[in-house]
Structure 1
């Protein structure tokens, strides 16, 4: 089987990591994998470094008729009769569907993963595109529900929910920071932006000044916003309680010795990769409850859920975990068990491969 991933983002992010991890696992299982991008060095480099064939396409959606022709020609030059084109947004799905229509002498199927919150279109054009996608994968039940709210012409058999996963290192050595002085460690990982609730987090830790801790922020954002957050931490009197670690490709050393992980998003999260990263290391997470988080965390069992934009609730939950070692240990153990049973990479990969095999065996939708 030939598997082709389409990625059109300009910067490296969670979707690109999802593609890379999946492509590596597919290659290990014996599949022939190629990746097509728009040719941005920041996204191409990790794929190339991992030994993948990276092709370039315009991937410009509705008005792009060149990319399907080029991709169809590429498929025609290879011997595999069974081909999966896996698009990672609906703009790229247009290219995939058009390519499929040009490859009538091959068994080409289209799989599309929706990684973000989005409502379906109901126009005739999009009904045509949706109808020729063989499987639409949603990364959570809530994202599927939001997408289907406008009642597009999509058969339920075309849809599937496959929770995201991460490949966990076999051994993780914790980072050591002289700033800490071995203080209890709270960790945030991910993009630093308003939607992720960083301001709520800074406000919340200002309510914890009476107990020892250090907050580590692993990630970065816009320079002006980072400057604003620095000023905010000064105003709230917690500048000396925050370690700004910046962006790290490997976050596990930063979270391995965390007492508590935090995911205080104020936007609706499609999933929450950072949450399961913490869980994989046995670290309990305090997360907002306004997206897929309740599908990941059982409140009070393997983590804690709080209302978004509530520094008081966030602070209370963090305080409870920092001050109660038995509770923290129990939730951490349960978090690891939840990860292993529901979100491990072997489970995710088996579900993805089953979808690929099922669509390959279906009659083509031309």
Structure 2
């Protein structure tokens, strides 16, 4: 079986540091251990990367982006790059590469969406895809994916990379994610207990419009006088260390931002929650989107009402003060990842869906 994944933006310095970019990379790596798999993505210049695990990453030269959006790269070589594939698996239903793939590829076309907005050609676009491989049941509902053609893959974490360290002296609160208003980081800083330290890992979004463009400056003002450290993006090894040493990971995503904007889709899954759980770190997250499908309230962490600063503060205080409780939740969180949410589990669910397509 030859499988080609198509991701509109690479993960990392040449693309975007986001879950929607990390997901296709990690899934393709897991698939490459068992099938002929290639990841096609886009960048400033063309190149072919052969990874030790068998994955080929083909970067097509980006000639520009439709409407200036990084999810809509334009490249002349995409149709020829898809030739010879048994299955083409695109990411972001409404991205320009997915649209083009839907036009040039008539059979065995699957899609995984990561929350990109946009039109759907008056309902025609979804009909061009044979299979919807969604990251959560919530994602399936938001896409209105047809039940008979939909499989839930979820996502994963590498339990060898993200693992607990019994020697680590866990302390402090950790946030990992894109620094955009819908992630609710402003609520977390407000909720941070006076004696707690917060480490913020991630970079800003791509929205240049005010007032959202002033969000990083707002966070700096809110953090004044508090023990808050902004690291920017970090590599996998450093992220794994931070997960292992944190007392708790907090994902305070919101339905309504501090600027009053309503967010229809805030969290389809939450890869950082899975990575923390694999590290034996309990998670506090908002009860929204796909997060309740992976974080079990009172078992692997806590779910809180989105935007409720008081409840968030109370839950943080509880886990920072009660180390036996935090340890128990963290141990159960890792066990859940090992049972259901590794990338190998995700790849196996994906291969089962491909087999259905090729019958």
Assess same fold via TM > 0.5: yes
Residue 52 of structure 1 aligns to a residue in which SS? strand
What is the CA-CA distance between 1:59 and the residue it aligns to?
9.7
2:174 paired residue number: 187
Given the superposition, is the C-alpha separation of residues 119 and 162 from structure 1 closer, same or farther in structure 2, using an over 3 Å criterion?
farther
Summarize deviations over 1:76-114 as a string: whole Å, max 9, x none: 5xxx5x52111102233322222224xxxxxx4101001
The CA distance in 1 between the partners of 2:118 and 2:180, in whole Å, is 23
2:109 paired residue number: 110
CA RMSD of aligned residues (A): 3.0
Q: Following superposition of structure 1 onto structure 2, how do residues 46-65 of structure 1 map, counting pairs within 5 Å?
A: 48=49, 50=51, 52-56=57-61
Question: 1:256·1:281 contact (CA, 8 Å) conserved in 2?
Answer: yes
The CA distance in 1 between the partners of 2:65 and 2:86, in whole Å, is 22
Given the superposition, is the C-alpha separation of residues 147 and 173 from structure 1 closer, same or farther in structure 2, using an over 3 Å criterion?
closer
Q: Following superposition of structure 1 onto structure 2, how do residues 127-206 of structure 1 map, counting pairs within 5 Å?
A: 127=124, 129-148=125-144, 155-170=146-161, 184-205=171-192
The CA distance in 2 between the partners of 1:89 and 1:313, in whole Å, is 34
1:282 paired residue number: 280
Q: Could you say which structure has the higher helix fraction? A: 1
The CA distance in 2 between the partners of 1:57 and 1:244, in whole Å, is 31
1:179 paired residue number: none
1:252 paired residue number: 240
Summarize deviations over 1:138-186 as a string: whole Å, max 9, x none: 21111211221xxxxx642211211111224347697xxxxxxx78211
Unaligned runs of 5+ in 1: 62-66, 102-107, 149-153, 175-181, 362-366
Residue 54 of structure 1 aligns to a residue in which SS? strand
2:202 paired residue number: 219
2:40 paired residue number: 36
The CA distance in 2 between the partners of 1:259 and 1:183, in whole Å, is 5
The CA distance in 2 between the partners of 1:345 and 1:20, in whole Å, is 11
Given the superposition, is the C-alpha separation of residues 131 and 183 from structure 1 closer, same or farther in structure 2, using an over 3 Å criterion?
closer
1:94 paired residue number: 99
TM-score by length of 1: 0.78
- Which region of structure 1 is more displaced relative to structure 2, 309-318 or 21-30? 21-30
Q: Following superposition of structure 1 onto structure 2, how do residues 249-328 of structure 1 map, counting pairs within 5 Å?
A: 249-250=235-236, 251-267=239-255, 268-328=266-326
Residue 60 of structure 2 aligns to a residue in which SS? strand
1:364 paired residue number: none
The CA distance in 2 between the partners of 1:120 and 1:161, in whole Å, is 23
Residue 188 of structure 2 aligns to a residue in which SS? helix
